[in-house]
């Protein structure tokens, strides 16, 4: 949002004041909107890094990630502008973390101890109304969690949301910037626990009927190697056999080809305009109207479905960035939620969310994807959500884990 961005204003105030008291400081700016997608080749590079810090150097696509990690590790102070988008962080910021959270680079894969020590972090966080740091701000929980995992212990946050004003945010950032330095006594708050829910079996025919419309949104780039896709494919095949019509949206493939539309400033402006009414095309210029048409097309695809199936690999404790991007497209006033009551408009739909993790992470406080997916879907009215977790997909019991998850998914849909 450039000059209109509150987080940009706060970050700029912090950096300008920091520069006054640190005259020899230099600044490296990373524009997250320009970061390339985290493709299957980069996932393979991440896997390779478990064998050593330079083990991925032979993978051509890894060069960008390696350079970004080097910039990240070279900084003395980390400054993050993190606007609140649908309670979380923007997909582009999640993409940054998907590039830099890497074994033998920013964490020790043997002990899972963070390797980024002695650096303070400043976060500018802004929302349109939700209190920053409040119970609905799952994005800040995620930021503290992923930074703490990499070794950060000193994180300061200036929030603008709820009763806080931009002017106060700028003043607070200026005050912090004048003498900002690492405090070894600081700690990052641990991620809150949450109660996991086991999928409950349903009676046959309670979910699928002849002509049911299913939207299957997959987000793994790993094809046949993907555990989340394997379980979802089995579930969707059974739904098809029971008479459902399936529409598939492959977000990872769209991201890799550049066809997953980014959430641009024009789309943000269109979203703001749509708080006044559903039809905003006549208020937009031609370029903005064309961009908004893509967004409303994704919404229409979701609205047409009776059942939503999400295939979700756990990436750095959260959703893959391209799934967050899709949510940012479809969570819209007058389309999927009422901006006056903040009630969801998609009630009556069912959702099945299949999450997969290489280790025993899901259903623990390290799993920030499950509570966020529940929050985001619930906000748009999809409260009948079944979660199927596939832990240990990178271990010797991976085949058994997938088989167990398939049975659970089928039972939860009444399709055994």
Burial of 413 (0-12, 13-18, 19+ CB in 10 A): buried
Length of the chain: 416
Q: How confident is the model at residue 121 (pLDDT cuts 50, 70, 90)?
A: very high
What sign for the dihedral angle of Cα 94, 364, 371, 143?
Answer: negative
Q: How far is CA 130 from CA 81, 93, 173, 261, 364, in A?
A: 17, 19, 20, 26, 26
Can you list the alpha helix ranges (DSSP code H) found in 75-193?
91-100, 138-150, 166-177
Please compute the mean of the pLDDT values over residues 324-340 and round it to a whole number. 96
163 has a pLDDT exceeding 80: no
Going from the N-terminus, what domains does the chain have, and what CATH number goes with each? 2-177 (3.40.50.360), 213-412 (3.40.50.360)
Please compute the mean of the pLDDT values over residues 365-388 and round it to a whole number. 96
Q: How far is Cα 357 from Cα 209, in angstroms, rounded to an integer?
A: 31
Can you list the alpha helix ranges (DSSP code H) found in 218-308?
227-241, 251-257, 265-274, 286-303
Task: Choose among 299, 363, 293: nearest CA to 336.
Answer: 299
* Bridge partner residues of 202 (DSSP): none
pLDDT tens digits, 45-58: 999 999 999 999 99
Q: Is 318 helix (H, G, I), strand (E, B) or coil?
A: strand
- Residue whose pair of structure tokens reads 């993978």 in the numeric block: 59
pTM score: 0.95
Q: Give the number of other Cβ atoms within 10 Å of residue 244's Cβ.
A: 22
Q: How confident is the model at residue 164 (pLDDT cuts 50, 70, 90)?
A: confident
Q: How far is Cα 182 from Cα 207, in angstroms, rounded to an integer?
A: 54
315 has a pLDDT exceeding 90: yes
Q: How far is Cα 412 from Cα 416, in angstroms, rounded to an integer?
A: 9
pLDDT tens digits, 231-289: 999 999 999 999 999 999 999 999 999 899 998 899 998 998 899 888 887 788 898 89
pLDDT for 162 equals: 77
Please compute the mean of the pLDDT values over residues 23-40 and round it to a whole number. 94
């Amino acid at each position: 949002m450039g000059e209109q961005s509150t987080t940009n204003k706060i970050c700029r105030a912090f950096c300008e004041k920091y520069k006054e008291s640190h005259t020899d400081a230099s600044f490296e700016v990373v524009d997250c909107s320009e970061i390339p997608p985290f493709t299957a080749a980069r996932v393979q590079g991440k896997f390779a890094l478990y064998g050593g810090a330079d083990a991925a150097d032979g993978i051509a696509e890894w060069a960008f990630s390696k350079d970004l990690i080097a910039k990240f590790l070279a900084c003395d102070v980390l400054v993050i502008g993190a606007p609140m988008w649908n309670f979380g962080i923007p997909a582009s910021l999640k993409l940054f973390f998907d590039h830099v959270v890497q074994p033998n680079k920013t964490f020790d894969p043997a002990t899972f101890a963070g390797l980024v020590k002695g650096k303070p972090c400043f976060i500018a966080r802004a929302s349109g109304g939700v209190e920053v740091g409040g119970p609905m701000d799952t994005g800040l929980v995620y930021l503290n969690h992923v930074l703490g995992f990499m070794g950060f212990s000193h994180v300061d946050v200036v929030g603008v949301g709820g009763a806080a004003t931009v002017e106060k945010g700028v003043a607070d950032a200026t005050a912090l910037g004048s003498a900002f330095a690492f405090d070894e006594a600081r700690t990052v708050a641990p991620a809150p626990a949450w109660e996991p829910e086991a999928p409950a079996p349903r009676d046959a025919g309670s979910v699928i009927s002849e002509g049911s419309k299913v939207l299957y949104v997959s987000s793994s780039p790993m094809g046949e190697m993907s555990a989340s896709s394997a379980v979802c494919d089995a579930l969707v095949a059974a739904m098809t056999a029971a008479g459902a019509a399936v529409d598939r949206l492959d977000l990872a493939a769209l991201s890799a080809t550049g066809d997953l539309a980014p959430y641009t400033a024009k789309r943000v402006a269109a979203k703001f305009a749509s708080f006044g009414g559903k039809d905003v095309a006549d208020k937009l210029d031609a370029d903005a109207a064309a961009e908004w048409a893509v967004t409303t097309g994704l919404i229409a695809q979701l609205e047409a479905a009776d059942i939503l199936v999400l295939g979700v690999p756990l990436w750095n404790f959260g959703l893959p960035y391209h799934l967050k991007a899709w949510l940012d497209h479809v969570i819209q006033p007058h389309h999927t939620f009422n901006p006056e009551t903040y009630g969801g408009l998609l009630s009556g739909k069912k959702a099945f969310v299949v999450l997969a993790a290489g280790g025993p992470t899901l259903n623990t406080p390290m799993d920030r994807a499950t509570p966020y997916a529940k929050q985001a879907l619930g906000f748009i009215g999809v409260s009948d959500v079944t979660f199927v977790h596939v832990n240990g997909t990178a271990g010797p019991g991976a085949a058994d884990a997938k088989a167990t998850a398939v049975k659970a998914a089928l039972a939860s849909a009444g399709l055994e």
